[in-house]
């Protein structure tokens, strides 16, 4: 007899749908108006895009195993958002340059993380935590209290607005779908993806079967940094303003989104679809609690409890007796 099991991404999406349907009954929910309901659902997915992209790098480092985690993602987001903001200065033709700067700066920071982790054998948790402090320091120096800049109209057009007046799908969601497809190619259809899962499962066997563990590991952290940099570029395109604490609130939710999506925090198993589902669930819960006008204390407690319940359902590790 087959044991009943449900894959985490599916469970997360089901949970999101149930929660969303229930939220219609709230006093200030969408009620019986189907158009309002669709608009609300679209908006929640649009908000989830930013968390989802930032959590992409997190997914990669977590799959790579060996306690892989990137605690510098939040501060990289802030840094590249600020760099984009001051580079673009409201001009459309500087947008590509700003995107390039965001990716390169993110990748550089990720590369330094990777160097520390692979060559100096510093645990990823503390290496990226320390790096997060250094990047925050850099932000304070660059920022010097205030920055002057502006996002370009084309960024707002491409990130914050819908596809066209007739098709009310926000561009951000379309970007995310393409991004998700690329991540799937990377994880499931590329040699890099194969090596990534291999080192996540067992580094010794990976090495024996010819995987260059050090290079793969270094590449993972570099890529994760670049993806966080891309996240910063997107976030500033959406908000249009920058501040020192812009990226930090994305950090732990990015890890939670990965965990909720069923990627094992111990590495070797996971998917980006799961992370996308996790990002939607977390964004949904947060925005529901906000619309319910709960005090901050209750909001945090409900978020913590939901997270505990979700990981209790399918985040359990193998018992010793098995």
Classify 162 as helix, strand or coil. Answer: strand
Q: How far is the CB of 28 from another protein (least distance, A)?
A: 22
Q: Are the C-beta atoms of 228 and 80 separated by less than 8 Å?
A: yes
41 lies in the site for another protein, by CB under 8 A = no
Give CA–CA dist 102/227, Å, rounded. Answer: 9
First and final C-alpha spacing in the chain: 18
Q: Minimal distance in Å, beta carbon 78 to another protein?
A: 13
| Distance of alpha carbon 71 from alpha carbon 74, whole angstroms | 7
Q: Does 181 bind another protein (CB under 8 A)?
A: no
Q: Is 101 in the site for another protein (CB under 8 A)?
A: no
Which string of x and - marks every residue 262-301 that binds another protein (by CB under 8 A)?
A: --xxx----------------------------xxxxxxx
Residue 219 is a binding residue for another protein (CB under 8 A)? no
How many whole angstroms separate alpha carbon 6 and alpha carbon 152?
44
Comparing CB distances to another protein, the nearer of 210 and 319 is: 319
Q: Token pair for residue 115?
A: 């160097």
Would you mind telling me the total number of residues written for the chain in this entry?
322
Burial class (CB within 10 angstroms; exposed 0-12, middle 13-18, buried 19+) of 19: middle
Question: Is position 256 an interface residue for another protein (rule: CB under 8 A)?
Answer: yes
Nearer to another protein (CB atom), residue 98 or residue 282? 282
Rounded Cα distance, 74 and 239, in Å: 16
Nearer to another protein, 22 or 301 (CB): 301
Q: Which is nearer to another protein, 120 or 167 (CB)?
A: 120
Residue the block writes with tokens 């204390």:
297
User: 3-state class of 170 per DSSP?
Assistant: strand
Residue 306: CB minimum distance to another protein, A: 8
Select from 30-38, 84-92, 118-126, 223-231 the region that touches another protein (CB under 8 A): 118-126
Q: Please report whether residue 144 would count as binding another protein according to CB under 8 A.
A: yes
Rounded distance, CA 318 to CA 322, Å?
7
Interacting residues with another protein (CB under 8 A) = 67, 69, 116, 119-123, 125-127, 129-134, 136-138, 140-141, 144, 252, 255-256, 259, 264-266, 295-305, 307-308, 311-312, 315-320
């Amino acid at each position: 007899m087959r044991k009943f099991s449900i894959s985490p991404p599916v469970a997360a999406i089901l949970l999101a749908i149930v929660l969303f349907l229930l939220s219609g009954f709230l006093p200030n929910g969408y009620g019986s108006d189907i158009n309002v309901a669709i608009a609300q659902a679209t908006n929640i997915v649009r908000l989830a895009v930013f968390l989802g992209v930032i959590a992409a790098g997190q997914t990669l480092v977590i799959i790579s195993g060996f306690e892989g985690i990137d605690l510098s993602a939040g501060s990289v987001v802030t840094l590249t958002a600020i760099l984009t903001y001051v580079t673009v200065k409201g001009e459309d033709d500087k947008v590509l340059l700003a995107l390039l700067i965001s990716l390169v700066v993110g990748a550089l920071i990720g590369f330094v993380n990777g160097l520390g982790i692979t060559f100096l054998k510093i645990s990823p948790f503390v290496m990226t935590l320390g790096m997060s402090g250094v990047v925050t320091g850099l932000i304070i120096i660059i920022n010097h209290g205030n920055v002057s800049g502006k996002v370009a109209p084309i960024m707002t057009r491409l990130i914050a607005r819908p596809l066209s007046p007739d098709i009310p799908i926000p561009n951000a969601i379309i970007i995310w779908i393409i991004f998700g497809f690329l991540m799937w190619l990377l994880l499931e259809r590329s040699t890099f993806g194969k090596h990534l899962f291999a080192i996540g499962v067992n580094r010794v066997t990976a090495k024996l079967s010819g995987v260059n563990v050090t290079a793969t590991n270094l590449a993972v952290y570099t890529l994760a940094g670049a993806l966080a940099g891309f996240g910063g570029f997107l976030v500033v395109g959406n908000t249009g303003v920058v501040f020192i604490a812009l990226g930090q609130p994305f950090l732990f939710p990015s890890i939670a989104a990965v965990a909720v999506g069923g990627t094992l925090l111990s590495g070797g198993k996971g998917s980006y679809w799961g992370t996308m589902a996790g990002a939607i669930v977390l964004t949904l819960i947060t925005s529901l609690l906000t619309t319910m006008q709960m005090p901050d204390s209750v909001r945090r407690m409900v978020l913590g409890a939901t997270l505990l319940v979700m990981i209790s359902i399918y985040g359990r590790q193998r018992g010793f007796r098995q």
